[in-house]
Amino acid sequence: MKIMVGGTFDPLHDGHKRLLSRSFQLAGPKGTVIIGLTSDRFASQKVHPVRPYEKRKEELTRFIEESGFQAAWSVEPLEDRFGSALKIDFDALIVSEETLPVAMEINTLRRKEGRRKVDIHQITCVLADDGRWISSTRIYRGEIDPHGRVIG
């Protein structure tokens, strides 16, 4: 299967790793995973600073290579919420609980433009040790580390 997944991935935390692992699992060894990585311009709308695109891509690439996934994959810059998800044919979109509404919006827009809808796989967020979601914002604030361990 041809899978699309997106994010800012800064820093790459256990929630992201779950999202990516599930994407590769679903794609299967002969499938493809397209990872939309927010561009620096798009990421600048975040409430916290984000490392440059190339740095984030490097960390993402290292994780994928070390994981030994078999599917083909590529990283492409995401300039808005949709990226190429409105324009190309693929099978399934993998999203977190936070981004499910974007996936629903993508299907509505695809249908309007005469494209077929895609499957939507919503992966539950990974919980930190304190029972709340692991998120980049919380890591940036210094509340938790990328594995969800509470700091301090």
- Rule CB under 8 A: which residues touch a second copy? 22, 25-26, 28, 97, 107, 116-124, 127
Instruction: Fill in the amino acid letter for 86.
Output: L
Would you say 2 and 90 are in contact if contact means Cβ atoms under 8 Å apart? Answer: yes
Nearer to a second copy by Cβ, of 48 and 87: the residue is 87
Would you say 43 and 81 are in contact if contact means Cβ atoms under 8 Å apart? Answer: no
What CA–CA distance (Å, rounded) separates 34 from 134?
Answer: 23
Nearer to a second copy by Cβ, of 35 and 126: the residue is 126
Length of the chain: 152
Token couple for 21: 């692992």
Nearer to a second copy by Cβ, of 34 and 123: the residue is 123
* Least gap, CB of 26 to a second copy (angstroms): 7
Nearer to a second copy by Cβ, of 25 and 84: the residue is 25
Residue 76, φ and ψ in degrees, nearest 5? -135, 145
Helices (H), the chain: 14-27, 40-43, 53-67, 100-112, 136-140
Nearer to a second copy by Cβ, of 44 and 124: the residue is 124
* Least gap, CB of 100 to a second copy (angstroms): 8
* Least gap, CB of 55 to a second copy (angstroms): 30
* Least gap, CB of 119 to a second copy (angstroms): 5
* Least gap, CB of 50 to a second copy (angstroms): 27
